[in-house]
Amino acid sequence: MEKNVYLDLGYWVQKKAKQLGADDSALGINQSRSVEVDFRDGEVEKLKESTEQSLWIEIYANGRYSSHSTNDLSKPALEKFITNAVDLTTYLEKDEFRKLPDPELYKGQHTVDIDINDTRQADLTVEQRLERAKNMGEFIKGKDDRIISIASGFYDDHSESYHLKSNGFEGHKESTSFTHGASVSMQGAGDKKPEAWRYYRARHLEDLVGAKETALQALARTQDQMGAKKVPSETLPLLLENSNAAGLLWRLMGPLSASSIQQKNSFLEGKKDQQIASEVLSIMDDPTIIRGLGSRYYDGDGIAAQPRPLITDGVLNNYFVDVYYGNKLGWKPTSGGSSNLVIKPGSRSGAEIEAGLDKAILVTSWLGGNANGTTGDFSLGVAGWLIENGKRIQPITEMNISGNYSELLMNLVEVGNDPWIHSTFRTPTLLFDKVNFSGS
Amino acid sequence: MINMSRRDFVKITGTGLALATLPGFLRTGFAANSPGGNPYGFYFKRFGIDDDTIRKVMAEALHYGGDYCDLFFQNQLSNSIRLRDNIVSTASTNVTLGVGIRVLKGNQTGYSFTEDVSLASMKAAARTAAGIASGSAKGVPETFNATKLMNYYDTEMSWEDVGVKSKVEMLQAINDDVFKEDPRVVKASVNFADSENYILVVNSEGGIATDYQPMLRISVACTAEQDGRRENNYFDYSARDDISFLTPERLKRLPREAVARTVKLFEAQTPPAGELPVVLSAGSAGILLHEAIGHGMEADFNRQGISVYSEKMNKKIAEPFVTIVDNGTNPHIRGSINVDDEGYPSQETVLVENGVLRTYMHDRISAQHYGLEPTGNGRRESFKHYPMPRMRNTYMKSGPHEFEEMIASVDYGILADQFTNGQVNIGPGDFTFYVKSGSLIEKGKITAPIKDVNIIGNGPEVLERVTMVANDMKMAEGGWTCGKNGQGVPVSQGMPSVLVSAITVGGRG
């Protein structure tokens, strides 16, 4: 993005909104370019290149508020767009809690160089991308007679945005990301064709886990599912693989938000400074991780990003408080959403924990299910392994776990030392006691 | 009291087109009677294009010898408005315009898009997509011929002509009714969204088709308190329709159902665990079909040989009273389309006929692979995406049994009423759907309510276990969106009441 062109356009829009009757405005201009390459069984299946741009604006006028977005950034089109936006706002009801953040919240951004833009992305050619995607599949080819099909892909994007708020905020973000991965389908028993995948994502190309390792993990994960079946319903310890632990814990983010609490839809309302999980659980929200997938200098409200404890030794320290719901609750805003979530590691690896289990189920993937954020009840589909005497004795599938998050979190007995760093939620292996598994 | 005639919704703000009704050429779907003699002139004007521009862009797209190309023009206008804490103080609008250019070489796809529909930008995007092929340039058509289409969602009024003020009043009236309905209600939210999608798809074989696709969704959610406990639930409607869909009856039913569904949860018991008989109530239970068989019948997975249904064609997979279709032609239903996003007319596609697997759902690539006609299932989220085989409205037809007969046949099991989401693993066929609300069945009688339970099964096994199908087929009323490879498309589903003799219920008992 040519900096001055887009920034100038942003200030032009801000000024135009004011002229047309907005008291205040917040706006963002985004531009991104991405390339997506998919191979199947050694042939290119899809090659897609995307370049897009958009503008969004929030209008504050006479105590009223509305938000709008468009992908037509020509000035005549924008003038009509802003005119309509301001006009629409006047027909809404007044809302005393809708206002721009206190400018004090913009101050104090951390000064770590988070290094989330890989400038070498611009040098990547389409041929290099095709080569990478193809090679990923080659590592799997011929490795197992039961293979039906191998898909592999390479994706990367560069995105840039400017944010302006009429009470003095100006922000700029520029980042890249790279993803590669493979999926493998195999002929199982009868008509069943187990399929599994592995992918990795990173801010810098050089940080991606190696293509061969990624490919062989995808193969192994498919082989692991061969012969999977449900086992009888039982209450057992749940060992949760690090790469899938976020699949259980992200559902807490809704109930931890100020909007859920203010709307009386959170089972965690009134739990601040109380024990909500066992003492082994500590979670930090850390926007300062170098090359972190969730690292940032400011959030959607323009609030300066800072590391903040979420849960310490099982005690809830903070909610996610955005400006609007913070105003409604009379709470000081923290941030409306998470950056990188980091769980304090324990002392043993997933493998060491597994070796010490008499009987448990290791969960390695999720299938559907949902949770009720108002009550904490959950019921989720799982697949993985039945473990007896520290050994994986039977792959399992078509089973559910059910319970309530309040109990589940108190039953967390051990945290591994192996955080999954390829995600914004850096979860290690987790061991929960007394989980209800339903099966045959 | 909610009572608004269509007239009350006529726009009173100064913006937008000053039309009282939609022009006839939008209402007929097929653009035969549009002004100026050109059957797609309205759309050409909207996108600022003509035959010559299309030919120039196609020449770039086929520059390296692609077999085929298509251009998908789209202009979508979306509005949403929300009530929370008794005031309507949040609204948003979104405008998108662009063209997606696809080049096929055998089964290979090159894709690019631009949001700038100038000739120069389109040519640049076309050249990018062209790169999937490597050969000498192909010719482009001299003329384009409009595809004859039916219209399954005739509407009178554009959403652009519905004023914000009347929407605010409608949401307020619903909110008032929610609180009047039950003193236990402590919070309510009402969301209303409408959109209009104008598409034009033209291909290098000379076919051209256009469509005007309206949509609305309205949802009411509430939280109630009783004895220190809280529960939250919702009810929603979605349709390809104009404001006339929101009849006084529907506007009254929204708050009533939302509250009834919420307070029912206070009576709920812990659901049981393990393999049990499950009766599915008619309607949105069609989510079972969407997951258990729908995705597995999308032909791309079968062409690749990776679906659990890849070797099942013309084989018996269910009882003879089971017939399952995917239909894009149901009037005003959310998943209906007059034309798919590759330009093929919509149709009713019979997936399972009297228990026998008959047809996969095809897009152009898979239809060519199998030597069949496309089934009108080539859909995409927007011009930013390439089309794939996707479902429209997937449902089972009514069968010979009675609902009461099913309940009476169950000694211990559950009745599943309300569903929120589902998922499937195409290869092994394992799928799930989440039951927000239902009841226990004990000794042939419906007893205590249950809630929040996931059900998990294997598609082909569960279809074999559909042992009764009632004569009460009903379409889902809410706004379902199907996700596949990162693309969301609006769909619907339907189901008569059915009995599944055994499936794993994820309870705790």
pLDDT in tens, B461-498: 999 999 999 999 999 999 999 999 999 999 999 999 99
Give yes or no for B481 touching A (CB within 8 A): no
Contact call for residues A126 and A155 (beta carbons, < 8 A): no
Give yes or no for B453 touching A (CB within 8 A): yes
Pull the structure tokens for residue B107.
């089964």
Instruction: Determine whether domain A3-225 maps to CATH 3.30.420.40.
Output: no
Domain final residue, candidates B235, B264, B293: B264
Contact call for residues B433 and B288 (beta carbons, < 8 A): yes
Q: Are residues B195 and B296 in the same domain?
A: no
Q: Are residues B418 and B445 in the same domain?
A: yes
Residue B9: predicted pLDDT: 46
Enclosing H/E stretch for B257: helix B248-264
Contact B273 A400 (CB under 8 A): yes
Q: Measured between CA atoms, how close is B453 to chain A, in angstroms?
A: 5
Q: Measured between CA atoms, how close is B148 to chain A, in angstroms?
A: 31
Distance CA B445, CA B468 (A): 17
Residue B38: predicted pLDDT: 61
Distance CA A157, CA B486 (A): 15
Distance from CA of residue B53 to its chain's centroid?
33
Contact B230 A372 (CB under 8 A): no
SS3 B373: coil
Residue B40: predicted pLDDT: 82
3-state helix, strand, coil split of chain B in percent (to 5) is: 25, 40, 35
Q: Are residues B166 and B218 in the same domain?
A: yes
Q: Are residues B416 and B469 in the same domain?
A: yes
- The shortest CB-CB distance from A263 to any of B88, B223, B225 is to B223
How far is the CA of B30 from the CAs of A391, B99, B332, in angstroms? 64, 21, 16
Tally of domains within chain B: 2
Interface test with B, best of A233, A396, A401 (most B CBs within 10 A): A233
Contact B273 A70 (CB under 8 A): no
Q: Are residues B370 and B446 in the same domain?
A: yes
Q: Which residues of B425-437 are buried (b: 16+ CB within 10 A; e: fewer)?
A: bbbbbbbbbbbbb
Q: Are residues B383 and B498 in the same domain?
A: yes
Distance CA A289, CA B124 (A): 39
Domain final residue, candidates B239, B264, B289: B264
Fill in the amino acid letter for B238: S
Domain final residue, candidates B264, B290, B309: B264
Count of other CB atoms within 10 angstroms of residue A244: 20
Q: Are residues B293 and B244 in the same domain?
A: no
Contact B305 A185 (CB under 8 A): yes
Q: Which residues of A345-359 are buried (b: 16+ CB within 10 A; e: fewer)?
A: bbebbbebbbeebee
Measured on CA atoms in the order A337, A342, A343, A349, is the torsion positive or negative? positive
Strands B480-484 and B474-475: unpaired
Q: Are residues B244 and B148 in the same domain?
A: yes
Contact B13 A52 (CB under 8 A): no
Q: Measured between CA atoms, how close is B506 to chain A, in angstroms?
A: 5
Place of tokens 């939609």: B22
- The shortest CB-CB distance from A68 to any of B93, B230, B506 is to B93
Task: For residue B128, give the chain A residue with the closest CA.
Answer: A49
SS3 B266: helix
Pull the structure tokens for residue B372.
């069949």
Which residues, at least 6 apart from A83, have a Cβ–Cβ distance to it below 8 Å? A20, B15
Q: Which residues of A67-98 are buried (b: 16+ CB within 10 A; e: fewer)?
A: bbbbbbbeeeebeebbbbbbbbbebbbebebb
Contact B15 A88 (CB under 8 A): yes
Contact B306 A94 (CB under 8 A): no
- The shortest CB-CB distance from A379 to any of B95, B309, B454 is to B454
The stretches in chain B having pLDDT less than 70 are: 1-39, 509
Measured on CA atoms in the order A8, A11, A17, A21, is the torsion positive or negative? negative
Q: How many CB pairs under 8 A join A and B?
A: 260
Q: Measured between CA atoms, how close is A210 to chain B, in angstroms?
A: 24
Q: Which residues pair with B388 in a beta bridge?
A: B379
Residues from chain A that touch B90, judged by Cβ atoms under 8 A, are: 65-67, 92, 95
**H helix runs in B356-484, sequence order:** 364-370, 403-409, 459-464
Question: Please, which contacts does A5-10 make with residues 24 or more away whose CB atoms are closer than 8 Å?
Answer: A6/A31, A6/A162, A7/A162, A7/A170, A7/A172, A9/A55, A9/A73, A9/A75, A10/A162, A10/A164
Pull the structure tokens for residue B462.
């569960």
Contact A195 B425 (CB under 8 A): yes
Fill in the amino acid letter for B464: E
Region label for A225, one of left (φ > 0), alpha (ψ between -120 and 50) or beta (otherwise)? alpha
Count of other CB atoms within 10 angstroms of residue B107: 17
Pull the structure tokens for residue A21.
């009757």
Question: In terms of residue numbers, what domain contains B415?
Answer: 273-506
Contact call for residues A286 and A112 (beta carbons, < 8 A): no
Q: Are residues B210 and B345 in the same domain?
A: no
Give yes or no for B92 touching A (CB within 8 A): yes
Measured on CA atoms in the order A113, A205, A344, A305, is the torsion positive or negative? positive
Q: Are residues B342 and B233 in the same domain?
A: no
ipTM of the prediction greater than 0.85, yes or no:
yes
Region label for B421, one of left (φ > 0), alpha (ψ between -120 and 50) or beta (otherwise)? beta
Domain boundaries, chain A: 3-225, 234-438
Contact B92 A379 (CB under 8 A): no
Q: Is residue B1 part of a domain?
A: no
Count of other CB atoms within 10 angstroms of residue A172: 14
| CATH code of the domain covering residue B102 | 3.30.2290.10
Residue B507: predicted pLDDT: 85
Q: Are residues B254 and B279 in the same domain?
A: no
Q: Is residue B84 part of a domain?
A: yes
Burial of A286 per CB tally in 10 Å (0-12, 13-18, 19+): buried
Contact call for residues A371 and A378 (beta carbons, < 8 A): yes
Q: Are residues B281 and B378 in the same domain?
A: yes
DSSP classification of residue B8? G
Burial of B443 per CB tally in 10 Å (0-12, 13-18, 19+): exposed
Pull the structure tokens for residue B411.
């000694």
End-to-end CA distance of chain A: 57
DSSP classification of residue B296? G
DSSP classification of residue B153? -
Q: Is residue B289 part of a domain?
A: yes
The stretches in chain A having pLDDT less than 70 are: 1-3
Residue B5: predicted pLDDT: 43
Residues from chain B that touch A98, judged by Cβ atoms under 8 A, are: 89
